[in-house]
C-alpha cells in the first residue's frame, strides 16, 4: 500500500522510507503501527549507528588506553552532550544515563528519597501516574511512614488544580507527576504546578516519558529538579533512559548503584565518588545503545520537534474526528487535540478493548488494549481498560482510516 | 495475500470467537453472587486487568452452587460462564479433574482430547492466540483457589 500523505509539516513518505520495519506485513496486511506510546520504531540511521559501533569501535569506556576505547568514550560522551542540548539542560553533567524511565525514577526514590523523606512527610502525585512513577513512591512511603496525596483527575481527563494549594503542607517533601499522560494523552501544565511546589521549597520530579519524544521541551523552563524519560519511545534503542537533575541535588545525593566506574579512589576502608555524572553510572553502561540514541536525537532534531508536534496534532485531530463520528465510541482525555499528545484512548460499544485489539491485530493494526500501567486511573474512569492508538512521525491519516475499517470489522464480528 | 491465506485467518478468528463463546459472553450463566458461599476467590490477570471472582458453596463432597462475577474480555468472561455450567453439581474431585484437563488442553497437551470436554472444546481455538490463553484460564485457576479455600475450612 502506498501511503499518500496530505501532510504539510513533515515529509512522511520520506520518513517512512527510513523505517525498515514499516515495510513488513502482519498476517498478510501492511503493518499499521499505532502503539508508539509503548515503544517507537527505529530508523535505519539508528540501526546503522549500532552496527557501526559493534563493527568498528566496540570497547569499554573511560579506562581504556587504546584507540577503540578512546573512540567509544568520545562517542558515548557526545551522545550525552546531544541529550543535554536536546532538552535544554545547562550542562551534560546533569544528564545521567539509566536503563529507562523506570530506573531513572527509582534512582531518585533511592538516592534522594531515602535521605530526604521521613516519617510523617508527604509526597504529592497525581491520579494519572504510570505505575513507574507510583510504585517507587509507595514503597518509599511505606518504608519511611510517609503519606501520599493525589491530585485528582477530572471527568475531562485533566488535573483538578482548583485546590492544589490545599494539597501542600509543611511536611510535603516531593511532588512527582507526568508531563503527558500515557493513558489519556493529557498535557499537564507542569510549569505552573512546579512553580507552586518550588515556591514552597518542595522538590519536584517530572515523568517525561511521553513528552520529550513528541514536543519541544526545555527542562530548565519546566523547572523541575528531576526529569526522566526513555530512548525507546523516541526512535532510539531499548535499554537507555535519562535522568536529568539539577546539579546541586546530584552533588548532595549519595550514589544509587555502586561498583566500578562510579568511584574516584578506593581503599580497603572505603571509597570516594567519581565526578558527575559518572557517580551515578556504576559498571559498564549501555554504550552501544546510548551512542545510537544520539543518532535518534539527530534524526528528531533534523525533523524539528515543533514539526513533530504539529504533525501529531494533525493526525490526532483527524483520529478524534473520525472516532467521534461513531455513536458508541467513548473517548477519554481532553477534547482539544492541542491539549493532548498523540494518544487516543477509547472504548467501543460493549466490546472489550482486548477483543478490539485482537481483531485489529489480524488487520495488521497494532494498538494497545488494557490498563496501560495506570490501574488506579482506570478505576477513576470506571473502566477496566481502554483501547489506545498512539501516533508518531511516520503515521498517516490513511492509517487512521485503516484503524476505522478495523473497528467496523470488529463490530461486524460481534454483532 | 492469497485467498487461502485470507480464509485461514478468517477461520482462526472464527475459531477464537465461536458462536457458543459469544453466546456465553452475551448471556452469562451463573453470573452473580451466592447467599452463603463456602469460599470466594478473586482472580486478576495483571497484564490486561481481567477480573473474575468465583464463589462456591459445597454440599458435602459436591459443588452445590457456584457463581462468578467480574469484568473483562469476551474470552475471560465466557470461559468463566462455561466453567460454571460444566462444574455445577459435580463432585469436588470431578471439578478438580476438569480444571486439570481444561488447563492441559489450553497448554496444548497432546494427551487431552478436546472433544471429550464437551462445549469447552470451543475454547481450544484460543490456543492460536497465545496472548489470550491467560484470559481463558483465569476463571479456572480462580476456581481451583476457591476450592482449596473451601476444602481447607
Ligand atoms: C508516562 C510513562 N512513564 C513511565 C513509563 C515507563 O517507561 P519505561 O518502561 O521505559 O521505564 C512509560 C512507558 O510505558 C510511560 O508512558
Q: Is B139:B45 a contact under the CB 8 Å cutoff? A: no
Q: Is A403:A389 a contact under the CB 8 Å cutoff? A: yes
Cα(A101) to centroid(ligand 1), Å = 6
Cα(B141) to centroid(ligand 1), Å = 30
User: Residue A213, SS3?
Assistant: coil
B60-81 mean pLDDT: 94
Say if B74 is an interface residue toward chain A (CB within 8 Å).
yes
B135-147 mean pLDDT: 97
Alpha helix stretches (DSSP H) within B57-152: 74-87, 92-107, 133-152
Confidence check: pLDDT of A360 > 50:
yes
What distance in Å separates the CA atoms of residue B102 and residue B105, rounded to the nearest whole number?
Answer: 5
B3-152 under CATH 3.90.1010.10, yes or no: yes
**Segment A337-357, tens digit of pLDDT:** 999 999 999 999 989 999 999
Confidence check: pLDDT of A3 > 60:
no
Element (H, E) at B9: helix B3-16
How many angstroms separate the CA of residue A189 from the nearest CA in chain B? 30
Other CB atoms within 10 A of residue B143 CB: 29
Q: Is A287:A72 a contact under the CB 8 Å cutoff? A: yes
Q: What residues of B are in contact with residue A38 (Cβ under 8 Å)?
A: none
Q: What is the percent of chain A with per-residue pLDDT over 70, rounded to a whole number?
A: 98
CA proximity to A287, closest of A37, A62, A42:
A62
Cell output for B100: 486439570
What distance in Å separates the CA atoms of residue A409 and residue A406, rounded to the nearest whole number?
Answer: 5
Other CB atoms within 10 A of residue A304 CB: 13
User: Residue A33, SS3?
Assistant: strand
Q: State the burial class of residue A373 (Cβ atoms within 10 Å of its Cβ: 0-12, 13-18, 19+).
A: middle
pLDDT of B46: 79
User: Residue A200, SS3?
Assistant: coil
pLDDT of B2: 56
Q: Where are the domains of chain B?
A: 3-152
**Segment A98-139, tens digit of pLDDT:** 999 999 999 999 999 999 999 999 999 999 999 999 999 999
A94 cis-preceded (ω within 30 degrees of 0): no
Q: Which of A326, A366, A373, A404 is catalytic?
A: A373
Mean pLDDT for chain A? 95
Region for B76 from its dihedrals, namely left if φ exceeds 0, alpha if ψ lies in -120 to 50, beta otherwise: alpha
Per-residue confidence at A222, pLDDT binned at 50, 70, 90? very high
**Segment A63-107, tens digit of pLDDT:** 778 999 999 999 999 999 999 999 999 999 999 999 999 999 999
Cell output for B104: 492441559
Q: Is A109:A129 a contact under the CB 8 Å cutoff? A: no
Question: Tell me, what's the ipTM?
Answer: 0.81
Which of B2, B26, B28, B48 to probe the A interface (max A CBs under 10 A)? B48
Residues contacting A156, CB < 8 A, separation 6+: A333, A334, A335
User: Is residue A213 within 6 Å of ligand 1 at its C-beta?
Assistant: no
Pairing of strands B39-45, A241-245: unpaired
What distance in Å separates the CA atoms of residue A31 and residue A337, rounded to the nearest whole number?
Answer: 25
**Segment A188-221, tens digit of pLDDT:** 999 999 999 999 999 999 999 999 999 999 999 9
Cell output for A135: 510504585
Q: Is A380 part of the annotated catalytic residue set? A: no
Cell output for A70: 578512546
Amino acid at each position: 500500500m502506498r501511503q499518500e500523505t496530505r501532510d504539510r509539516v513533515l515529509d512522511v513518505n520520506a520518513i517512512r522510507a527510513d523505517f525498515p520495519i514499516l515495510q513488513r506485513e502482519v498476517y498478510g496486511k501492511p503493518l499499521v503501527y499505532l502503539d508508539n506510546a509503548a515503544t517507537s520504531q527505529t530508523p535505519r540511521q539508528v540501526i546503522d549507528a549500532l552496527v557501526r559501533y559493534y563493527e568498528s569501535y566496540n570497547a569499554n569506556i573511560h579506562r581504556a588506553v587504546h584507540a577503540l576505547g578512546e573512540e567509544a568514550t568520545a562517542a558515548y560522551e557526545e551522545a550525552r552532550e546531544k541529550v543535554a542540548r536536546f532538552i535544554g539542560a545547562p550542562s551534560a553533567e546533569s544528564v545521567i544515563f539509566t536503563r529507562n524511565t523506570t530506573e531513572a525514577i527509582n534512582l531518585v526514590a533511592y538516592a534522594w528519597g531515602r535521605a530526604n523523606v521521613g516519617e510523617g512527610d508527604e509526597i504529592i502525585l497525581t491520579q494519572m501516574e504510570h505505575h513507574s512513577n507510583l510504585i517507587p513512591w509507595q514503597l518509599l512511603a511505606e518504608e519511611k511512614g510517609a503519606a501520599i496525596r493525589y491530585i485528582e483527575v477530572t471527568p475531562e481527563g485533566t488535573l483538578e488544580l482548583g485546590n492544589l494549594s490545599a494539597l501542600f503542607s509543611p511536611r510535603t517533601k516531593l511532588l512527582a507527576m507526568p508531563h503527558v499522560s500515557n493513558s489519556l494523552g493529557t498535557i499537564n501544565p507542569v510549569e505552573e504546578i512546579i512553580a507552586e511546589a518550588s515556591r514552597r521549597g518542595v522538590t519536584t520530579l517530572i515523568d517525561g516519558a511521553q513528552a520529550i519524544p513528541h514536543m519541544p521541551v526545555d527542562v530548565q523552563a519546566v523547572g523541575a529538579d528531576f526529569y526522566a524519560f526513555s530512548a525507546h519511545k523516541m526512535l532510539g534503542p531499548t535499554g537507555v533512559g535519562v535522568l536529568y537533575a539539577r546539579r546541586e541535588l546530584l552533588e548532595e545525593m549519595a550514589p544509587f548503584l555502586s561498583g566500578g566506574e562510579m568511584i574516584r579512589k578506593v581503599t580497603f576502608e572505603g571509597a570516594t565518588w567519581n565526578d558527575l555524572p559518572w557517580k551515578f553510572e556504576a559498571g559498564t553502561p549501555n554504550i552501544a545503545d546510548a551512542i545510537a540514541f544520539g543518532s535518534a536525537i539527530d534524526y528528531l532534531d533534523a525533523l524539528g520537534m515543533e514539526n513533530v508536534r504539529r504533525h501529531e496534532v494533525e493526525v490526532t485531530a483527524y483520529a478524534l474526528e473520525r472516532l467521534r463520528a461513531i455513536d458508541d465510541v467513548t473517548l477519554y482525555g481532553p477534547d482539544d487535540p492541542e491539549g493532548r499528545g498523540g494518544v487516543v484512548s477509547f472504548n467501543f460499544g460493549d466490546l472489550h478493548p482486548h477483543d478490539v485489539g485482537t481483531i485489529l491485530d489480524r488487520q495488521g493494526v497494532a494498538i494497545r488494549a488494557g490498563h496501560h500501567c495506570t490501574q488506579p486511573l482506570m478505576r477513576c474512569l470506571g473502566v477496566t481498560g481502554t483501547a489506545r492508538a498512539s501516533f508518531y512521525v511516520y503515521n498517516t491519516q490513511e492509517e487512521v482510516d485503516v484503524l476505522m475499517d478495523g473497528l467496523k470489522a470488529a463490530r461486524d464480528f460481534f454483532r | 495475500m492469497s485467498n487461502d491465506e485470507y480464509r485461514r485467518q478468517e477461520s482462526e478468528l472464527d475459531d477464537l470467537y465461536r458462536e457458543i463463546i459469544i453466546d456465553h459472553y452475551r448471556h452469562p450463566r451463573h453470573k452473580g453472587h451466592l447467599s452463603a458461599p463456602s469460599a470466594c476467590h478473586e482472580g486478576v490477570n495483571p497484564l490486561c486487568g481481567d477480573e473474575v471472582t468465583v464463589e462456591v458453596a459445597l454440599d458435602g463432597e459436591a459443588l452445590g452452587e457456584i457463581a462468578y462475577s467480574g469484568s473483562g474480555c469476551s474470552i475471560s468472561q465466557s470461559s468463566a460462564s462455561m466453567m460454571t455450567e460444566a462444574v455445577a453439581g459435580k463432585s469436588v474431585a470431578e471439578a478438580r479433574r476438569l480444571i486439570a484437563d481444561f488447563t492441559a488442553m489450553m497448554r496444548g497437551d497432546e494427551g487431552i482430547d478436546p472433544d471429550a470436554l464437551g462445549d469447552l472444546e470451543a475454547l481450544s481455538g484460543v490456543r492460536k492466540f497465545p496472548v489470550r490463553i491467560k484470559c481463558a484460564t483465569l476463571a479456572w485457576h480462580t476456581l481451583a483457589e476457591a476450592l482449596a479455600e473451601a476444602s481447607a475450612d
